[in-house]
Amino acid sequence: MKTPSHSPEGPGGPGATKAARANAGARRPTPKTVRVWDLPTRLFHWLLALTLVGSVVTGSIGGGAMVWHFRLGSLALALLVFRLVWGLVGGRWSRFASFIYAPGTVLRYLRGGQRPGEHLDVGHNPLGAGSVFAMLAILLVQVGTGLIADDEIANVGPLNKFVATATGLAATAWHKNYGEAIILALVALHVGAILFYRLRKKTDLIGPMVSGDKSLDGAAGDVPPSRDDTRTRLLALVLALAAAGVSLWVMRQGA
């Protein structure tokens, strides 16, 4: 009886027979490139990251830099309004519906179990989704408390005149202390988790947030991509301009 040919490098290695290599190829289909993050989501993400860094720096400097702190706050509001709408009408994997997971799914993901047809690692996985929602929520609270804040020296948020003095002062305390600390902790966790995936799990999440594409193996490669064509980008532009309009209108209430 003929013994099967085994190569020390594995069935597809250089020492394997042609047939063994063909079989190995059939078992390991070439990964497919899938557009996961549409351009508007990527622009939103990197602009939000820059805005956050700028806001922390200008807030720490204070004085004349507060003019920029207010401008960046206005930009953050516009970005968040845009993302809330994009979460409803944006690309397949940017929609909130694609990354709202039941607690049971999160627990199963943590235990390493995925059901057939469940593509938990294509968009935001159940752990990442939690951090995304937490960051969006705390950033909204940070912008909201900034809008009604009053530092009793020189800086008053544009909506401060609509709230009681005590509310404005409580908002200021939150904005400057807990709010900023929680955001910095969440961002540190966020970046730490991404580095963990890169170093320990050999999974690059940053590349897809830059190029938009993920290289997906097996059944995961058959998922529908996020739409990211001229039409959706124009829609995003219109929504971004509308979000900027909303933000400017809010900021003008203080005039």
Paired residues of 35 in beta bridges: 213
- 95, 41 in Cβ contact below 8 A? no
Question: Smaller CB distance to ligand HEM: residue 169 or 182?
Answer: 182
Integer Cα distance of 255 and 223 in angstroms:
50
Instruction: Identify which range of 14-22, 42-50, 74-82, 247-255 contacts ligand HEM by CB under 6 A.
Output: 42-50
Integer Cα distance of 43 and 179 in angstroms:
24
Question: Smaller CB distance to ligand HEM: residue 52 or 250?
Answer: 52
- The terminus-to-terminus CA distance of the chain in angstroms comes to 91
Binding mask 77-96 for ligand HEM (x = CB under 6 A): ------x----------x--
Question: Smaller CB distance to ligand HEM: residue 67 or 184?
Answer: 184
Backbone angles phi, psi at 28, to 5 degrees: -115, 85
Task: Verify binding: residue 75, ligand HEM, rule CB under 6 A.
Answer: no
Task: Verify binding: residue 190, ligand HEM, rule CB under 6 A.
Answer: yes
Task: Verify binding: residue 45, ligand HEM, rule CB under 6 A.
Answer: yes
Q: How far is the CB of 252 from ligand HEM (least distance, A)?
A: 26
Q: Is 63 left (phi over 0), alpha (psi -120 to 50) or beta?
A: left
Residue entry with tokens 């622009």 = 43
Among 47, 140, 209, 242, binds ligand HEM (CB under 6 A): 209
Among 191, 219, 234, 237, binds ligand HEM (CB under 6 A): 191
Instruction: Return the DSSP state at 225.
Output: P
Among 40, 54, 128, 212, binds ligand HEM (CB under 6 A): 128
CA atoms within 13 A on the CB side of 165: 1
Residues that bind ligand HEM (CB under 6 A): 41, 44-45, 48-49, 52-53, 83, 94, 124, 128, 132, 135-136, 187, 190-191, 194, 205-206, 209
